[in-house]
Structures are given as C-alpha cells and as structure tokens.
Amino acid sequence: MHAMDVRVLKRRLDEKAVVLLDVRTPEEHSKVHVDEAISLPLDTVDENVIEQLKKSVNGQEICAMCLTGRRSALLARKLLDAGFKKVNILNGGLRSWEDAEFPLTRGKGPISVNRQARLLIGTLIIGGTTIFWYTHEFWWLVLPAFFGLSLIFSGWTGIRGLNNILRYMPWNR
C-alpha cells in the first residue's frame, strides 16, 4: 500500500489510469465528492463486494479515499489481503484534494472551510477598516492588521489556524 500525492492522483485520474474509491458514508459523499470517485462505503465492503470489484476494475490501479486517510487505509488493507496488487490511498484524503483546490461536486451543506475562512477574513478586514474610516479610532485597525498578519503567517508556514477552528464549527460537522 502506498500513499499517493493529491497532484499525482489528479494527473492519473485525468489519464484514466486509476480507479478512485470513496469509502466515506453515503451522506458524506452526497455533501461533497470528487466526480471521478466511485462511492464504496467502508461498512458495505464484504467478500461479495470485493469479488465484484475485482471483475469491474480488471487489474487497474486503485486509489482509496476518505476524509483524512484512516478509513481508506482500512479498505486498502482489505483489498491487499484479497489479492489486489496495485492499491494506494490518497495522502491526506479529501481534505488534501480540497486544499489543492481541485474540482469538487457539492450537494447540500456548508461551503468549504477554505472559502469560509476567506469570507470571514475579508469581512473582518473590510469591517475594521470601514469602522476606522468613520470613527477615526485607531484601535479598529487591530482587526485588519491582525488578520493581514495571520494571512502572512499562514502563507509563510502553511499553518491554517482559522481553517482548523472552522472545521469544528457545528455547521461543518
């Protein structure tokens, strides 16, 4: 079992060289999914499903995907134990696909955490600057300064603190 980088997976999907299996629940899949992904919930995989999968993929390379990578590793182990040879998991799961800003199909549910963070930061920067403009109270500039510096820090280090906080909000569960 190998962990496949999201950019490698995207290229291989474009070339039709890999079968992408989404092992998340049907509810998770309906909210957001990669178009090319085949929904195969982990809890439905048994010997019969594995036999059907053997016939349908016909020896083609497989990449399993879930939200973060844990469930896909469980499916990959089952497939390897059943005799599949070319089995990968998506490194970082659907979150890495989303972070790379590759196309996703969305059903009902909240907008992506990345977009939520951008909307919030933009609103607070514009809000703080506008309030300062009308009140001339310098402490309102703390908002745009703080979030501007946090964007610089995030770009420099790759740490997305606001995204991590937003992931735990009730509407994102």
Give 155-168 pLDDT, tens digit per residue: 898 888 888 888 88
Please provide the distance, in angstroms rounded to a whole number, between the alpha carbons at the two ends of the chain: 29
- The residue length of the chain stands at 173
DSSP 8-state symbol, 139: G
Same domain, 102 and 132: no
Three-state SS at 26: helix
* 105 strand-pairing partners: 33
Same domain, 74 and 125: no
What angle is formed at CA 125 by the lines to CA 136 and CA 143, rounded to 5 degrees?
65
Task: Out of 62, 78, 106, pick the residue that ends a domain.
Answer: 106
CA dist 125 and 109 (Å) reads 26
Same domain, 34 and 67: yes
Same domain, 54 and 17: yes
Query: Which H or E run includes 167?
Result: helix 161-167
Supply the pLDDT for residue 125.
Answer: 94
CA dist 41 and 137 (Å) reads 55
Percentage, residues of the chain above pLDDT 70: 98
CA dist 25 and 28 (Å) reads 5
Same domain, 99 and 126: no
Supply the pLDDT for residue 111.
Answer: 75
Task: Out of 80, 106, 132, pick the residue that ends a domain.
Answer: 106
pTM for this one? Answer: 0.64
Q: What is the DSSP string of 69-134?
A: SHHHHHHHHHHHHTT-SSEEEETTHHHHHHHTT---EE-SSPPPHHHHHHHHHHHHHHHHHHHHHH
Supply the pLDDT for residue 96.
Answer: 92
CB contact set of 14 (below 8 Å; sequence gap of 6+) = none
Domain containing 148 equals 113-172
Q: How confident is the model at residue 34 (pLDDT cuts 50, 70, 90)?
A: very high
Same domain, 127 and 155: yes
Same domain, 119 and 91: no
Asked whether the predicted pLDDT for residue 22 surpasses 90, the reply is: yes
Number of folded domains that form the chain: 2
Same domain, 81 and 62: yes
